[in-house]
Amino acid sequence: MSTATTPVNTAGASPAAGPLNRSSFGLVVLLVVELVLGSAQAIYGKTPSTGHSIGIFSTALLGTHFIWGILTIIASIVFLVQAIRARGRGVIITGAVGLLALVVAAFAGSSYTKDGMNGSSLMMAIATGVALFCYTFNLRFFQGN
């Protein structure tokens, strides 16, 4: 039994296009899981009331969300290093914006656990959405073929 394959035009493709695509896809998966964990925490977990802090590890769900976020930031740093090595201007820009968005989300999340303000929660969600857009954009526009 044979399977037909579609030829891929790799003329002019960067040698790093494959690793960058895999990293972008991995970051999209990490961010989707992070969004699910954050949403579950918001609905089912312990949330701070205004002026009353909760610990980052006060619940297993919040602790998992925090650790997953740190892993996602580390993965985005690795992605940016790969993009810089590949010298792809567009992918460097989206990688840098994605990393910056994740750092903003982390600071907003930290602020939310301290004050419970809805604005911090919204900023966390928006920043995560921006990062998700950046890495999804990479999958579509920087395929290298």
Give the pLDDT confidence score for residue 25 in this predicted structure: 93
Question: To 10 degrees, the CA torsion angle through 129, 96, 10, 85?
Answer: -150
Task: For 84-139, write each residue's pLDDT tens digit.
Answer: 998 889 999 999 999 999 999 999 988 888 877 888 889 999 999 999 999 999 88
Question: Rounded to two decimals, what is the model's pTM?
Answer: 0.81
pLDDT at residue 11 tops 60:
no
DSSP string, 89-114: HHHHHHHHHHHHHHHHHHHHHHHHHH
Q: Where are the domains of the chain?
A: 17-46+53-141
